[in-house]
Structure 1
Amino acid sequence: MKKLLLPCLIMALTFLSCHKDEIESQSSDITIAPTARKCASMELLAIQLKNDPAMADRMLQIESFTNKVLKEHKAARLVNGVIEIPVVVNVLYRTASENISDAQIQSQIDALNEDYNATNADFTLVPATFSGVKANVGIRFVLDQTVRKSTNKRSWNTNDYMKISSRGGIDPTSPATKLNLWVCTLSNDILGYAQFPGGASATDGVVILNTAFGRTGTAAAPFNKGRTATHEVGHWLNLRHIWGDATCGTDYVNDTPLHNTANYGCPAAGHKSTCTGTPVEMTMNYMDYTDDACMYMFSNGQKSRMLATFVSGGPRYSFAQ
C-alpha cells in the first residue's frame, strides 16, 4: 500500500526546482511525429517552480488539504450527482490540417466523458485483478466554445507561449470556471502537458498535440482515442504518473500498485513489477504511458484524489459551484 507522504513530495519538488531548465531553450521549429507517449507535465512543473518559488508551498498546502479530505472521507460526498466542467478549446494553426474540425473537437469531448464516467467500451477489459478498484469518476465535460487563431509558428514547446496572446498564443478564457485546452503542434515528441493545481491562473489548463486530440480527423494511431487529453486532465486534477516519476515511486494513491517505471505500447497481461511485493502493474491505467488502445481505467483512489480538488477549500472548488 502506498502512503501519502508529504516529505516525499517536498523532496520531489525540491529536485524539480533545481532541474536544469533546458526545456525553455528547445527550438520551436523541430517537429517529430511521436511514436511513444511523452507527457511534459513534470518538465513544465520544473520550469514553474524555478520561476515561482512560492508555488512549492502552494502545492504542499494542496497536498496537505488533499490528505485531510481523504482521511475524513469527504471526497465521495462532495457534490450531488455529476460535476460539470465547461471546456474552452483553443486551436492554434499554421496549416489547414492543423485547424482541426469541429467534429474532431467534439470527438475529444466525447472521449473525455466516456473515460471519466466509465462508459468507454474498453472499460469491460479491466482484468479481474483490478475489478474491485476500477472507478466511475463522475465528471461531465461540456464544450463551451472554440477559439481559433492563425499563427506563423511551426511548433510550440513547454514555455507556455501558446497560452499568451502577446507571444502569439491565445489567452485562457475564464480559467477559474472553465477548463482551457490548447490544441497545437508541439515540438520534441511531446503529446501534451498539463498545469497542476497550484500554478498561476493565467496559464492554467492543458495543452495537447493536434494529432493526438480526439478520435477522428488528424488524430493518428497509436494516439487516436482521445486518451492523451484523459491523461493530461488527470494531471490538471492533481493526479501523478502511476510510477511516481521515480523507480518504484509513489503517485500518492493507495490502490494503484507500485510500478518500476513507465510502460509503453501495449504490455502483456499480468506484467509484474519488481518493486516491493512484485505486484501486477496497472498498465491499463490512464496515468501510465501506454498507447491509447491499452489504457482504459482510473482507480477509486485516483477518483477520490481528483474529487478532493472540488471540495470547499480545494484548488478546483470554483468548478463545483
Structure 2
Amino acid sequence: MKKVFITAVAALVLFACQNDQTDSANSETSAAARRSCASQDVLEAQLKADPMQAIRMNQIEAFTNEQLLKGFSGRLVNGKIEIPVVVNVLYKTTAQNISNAQIQTQIDVLNKDFNALNSDYNSVPALFAGVKANIGITFVLDQVIRKSTTKTSWGTNDAMKKTAQGGIAPTSPTTKLNLWSCAIGGGILGYAQFPGGASSTDGVVIDSRYFGLSGSANAPFNLGRTATHEVGHWMNLRHIWGDATCGSDLVSDTPTHNDANYGVPAYPHYSTCSGTPVEMTMNYMDYVDDNAMYMFSTGQKSRMMAIFATGGPRAAFAQ
C-alpha cells in the first residue's frame, strides 16, 4: 500500500491514452491494440502555454488532501452528484459522425461504472472486495453538437476545442462536462484535462472508434471504458502506477504497481515493488483492455469527491 503525498510533478500530469504502435490516422479499420501514454509531451505544451498551471494544480492537491480529512460537503441530487454532459462530434467521414444512440450508450456506461452497476463489478477479487467503491456520480446527456471537418486527425494540442482551428469550443465548462468525439490520430484513444487547466480547454477527448458500445467502436476498447478512464482523470485520478516505476497514484488503498498492465492479465499479478503486492489490474486507472477493468477504490472515490467539495475546483457541479 502507498502513502499519499503531494508533489508538484504528480499534480501536473495530464493523461493521453494511446497505442504504442503506428496507427494510420486515415484508417477506419486500424484499431489500437494496447494503451500507453504521451502525457509528458502534452504536459510540456500546457506548461508553456500557461506557466501558472503548476501553481494551481499544486494548490488543488493541497486542497484535496485537506478534504480527505474532512469528508465531502456539497449539493447532491437524489443522493448523488449529477453531471450534465455536452458531446461535441467532429467528423470527416460517416463513421466518425457517431449516432445519438452510440452517444447514449457511452452515457449509460459512465452511469454504470460510476455507480457500481456494471455487470462485472462482482468480478472484483476477494482481496479487493473491501475497498471496491460505488462512486455515486451520475451523468445526464445535455446536448450534442456536430460539426463537419476536413481534418483527418486532430492530435493532442486541443485544436478540436478551438473554433478558430476548426473545432468546437466547450459549452459552459465550469458546470458541464464536455466530451469531444473525433479522429485524434497517432493511435491515441483519448485524453483528459485535470482540474486546474484552462476552462477554455476543459474536458475529455475520445477517438470516435472508442466512444460507447455501438457503431464505430472497436475491440478491445469497445465497451466504453476509455471514457470511464479519462473521466477518472478529469476527476483528478492518476494512473494507478503513478506514471513512474513503483510510483504513487496518491491513493492509499491501491497497491503499488511497478508499471502499467495491458491486455487481460491473469490474476493474481504480483508487483515487483517493495512487498510484492498483488496489483489491482482491474482498476479503471490501469491500461488493461476494456473487458478487464471494472472497479474504482474507496480511496479513489474520496479523491474524486474532494474536487466537488465547497471551494474545490469543480464545486460548481455540486451546487
Q: Is the 8 A contact 2:241 2:258 kept in 1?
A: yes
Amino acid aligned to 2:68: L
How big is the shift at 1:28? 9.9
Counterpart Cα distance in 1 of 2:86 and 2:38: 21
Give SS of 1:70's match.
helix
1:32-43 residue pairs with structure 2 within 5 A? 33-40=31-38, 43=41
Q: Is the 8 A contact 1:44 1:195 kept in 2?
A: no
How big is the shift at 1:286? 0.2
Aligned with 1:259 (options 257, 260, 269): 257
Counterpart Cα distance in 2 of 1:2 and 1:116: 23
Change (3 A) 1:97 1:155: same
Change (3 A) 1:317 1:42: farther
Counterpart Cα distance in 2 of 1:256 and 1:121: 22
Counterpart Cα distance in 1 of 2:235 and 2:11: 18
Give the TM-score normalised by the residue count of structure 2: 0.92
Q: Is the 8 A contact 1:87 1:142 kept in 2?
A: yes
Tell me which residue corresponds to 1:96: 94
Structure 2 gap ranges (5+): 15-22
Residue 124 of structure 2 is aligned to residue 107 of structure 1 = no
Counterpart Cα distance in 1 of 2:284 and 2:274: 22
1:145-184 residue pairs with structure 2 within 5 A? 145-184=143-182
How big is the shift at 1:199? 0.2
1:1-321 residue pairs with structure 2 within 5 A? 1-6=1-6, 9-12=7-10, 33-40=31-38, 43-72=41-70, 74-75=71-72, 78-80=74-76, 81-321=79-319
Counterpart Cα distance in 1 of 2:230 and 2:262: 16
Structure with the larger helix share: 1
Q: Is the 8 A contact 1:62 1:315 kept in 2?
A: yes
What root-mean-square deviation, in Å, do the aligned CA atoms of Structure 1 and Structure 2 show?
1.9
Q: C-alpha offsets along residues 24-79 of structure 1, whole Å, 9 cap, x if unaligned?
A: xxx9956663111235555423321222111000000000000011023x13x544
% identity of equivalent residues: 65
Give SS of 2:217's match.
coil
Give SS of 1:67's match.
helix
Q: Is the 8 A contact 2:11 2:61 kept in 1?
A: no
Counterpart Cα distance in 1 of 2:240 and 2:98: 31
Structure 1 gap ranges (5+): 18-26
Counterpart Cα distance in 1 of 2:11 and 2:111: 32
Counterpart Cα distance in 2 of 1:38 and 1:97: 25
Tell me which residue corresponds to 1:24: none
Q: C-alpha offsets along residues 227-278 of structure 1, whole Å, 9 cap, x if unaligned?
A: 0000000000000000000000000000000001000000001000011111
Change (3 A) 1:230 1:42: farther
Counterpart Cα distance in 1 of 2:241 and 2:218: 26
Counterpart Cα distance in 1 of 2:294 and 2:24: 32
Counterpart Cα distance in 2 of 1:52 and 1:142: 31
Amino acid aligned to 2:171: T
How big is the shift at 1:311? 0.3
Counterpart Cα distance in 2 of 1:197 and 1:171: 18
How big is the shift at 1:189? 1.0
Q: Is the 8 A contact 2:113 2:295 kept in 1?
A: yes
How big is the shift at 1:164? 0.4
Give SS of 1:290's match.
coil
Greater mean deviation of Cα atoms: 27-36 or 162-171: 27-36
Q: Is the 8 A contact 2:103 2:212 kept in 1?
A: yes
